[in-house]
Amino acid sequence: MAGKAAYCKKRQNKMGMLLVTAVVLLMLIVVAVKSVDLREKRASYMAKEEALMQDIAAEEARTEEIEEYEKYTQTKKYVEEVAKEKLGLVYEGEIIFKDEN
């Protein structure tokens, strides 16, 4: 009987080791699949970050242009241009020549 008990115990140990090995392999597979998914997400987020950084740079450049235009609109030269082009005003004694075309 002692032989049969030892045989059953060896068999249980082999089954236990097989079960533990299967669980570990399953966990490794899950981790590998999740790491691939995370790498894809990371690449996607990096692309989005790059696009957003380009948008930020473009908006900063646009802000500078608007600030320069705002400064320009407060100059006497701008006021004179608008008065001449849109209102048709001229300085006293100024002569305007027009093309006949």
Tens digit of pLDDT for each residue in 47-74?
999 999 999 999 999 999 999 999 999 9
Amino acid 17: pLDDT? 92
Helix ranges (H only) for the chain are 2-73, 76-85
Give the predicted TM-score (pTM) of the model: 0.54
pLDDT digits (tens, 9 = 90+) for 6-38: 666 777 888 889 999 999 999 999 999 999 999
DSSP 8-state class, residue 97: -
Is the model's pLDDT at 1 over the cut of 60? no
C-alpha 38/C-alpha 44 separation (Å) is: 10
